[in-house]
Amino acid sequence: MSTKRFLLWMLALIFTYQAGIFAYGFYTCGQITPKTVITEVCPDIGRRYDETFTLMITSVIALLTGSQLKE
């Protein structure tokens, strides 16, 4: 498997994992109390989501860009 293809698969896996964790977080926060709004129960879910995955995504994109520059 080429480096470019591996990095694209890695990026796809990160996005898939990211979507799963985000959906699970919203589901869990929504199950705490059914009548409240998610932002009242878990106000920082968006910030945590952003901080958690920004580094992974930028690292893979940087590696992908670097592998393109070699060619």
Range of the domain at 15: 3-70
For the chain, the domain total comes to 1
Alpha-helix residue ranges (DSSP H) falling in the chain: 3-32, 38-41, 45-70
pLDDT tens digit string along 5-51? 887 888 888 888 888 887 887 777 777 666 666 666 676 777 777 77
- Whether the predicted model's global pTM rises above the 0.85 cut: no
What pLDDT does residue 49 have? Answer: 73
Tell me the angle at which helices 3-32 and 45-70 cross, rounded to the nearest 10 degrees.
Answer: 180
Residue 71 has pLDDT above 60, yes or no: no
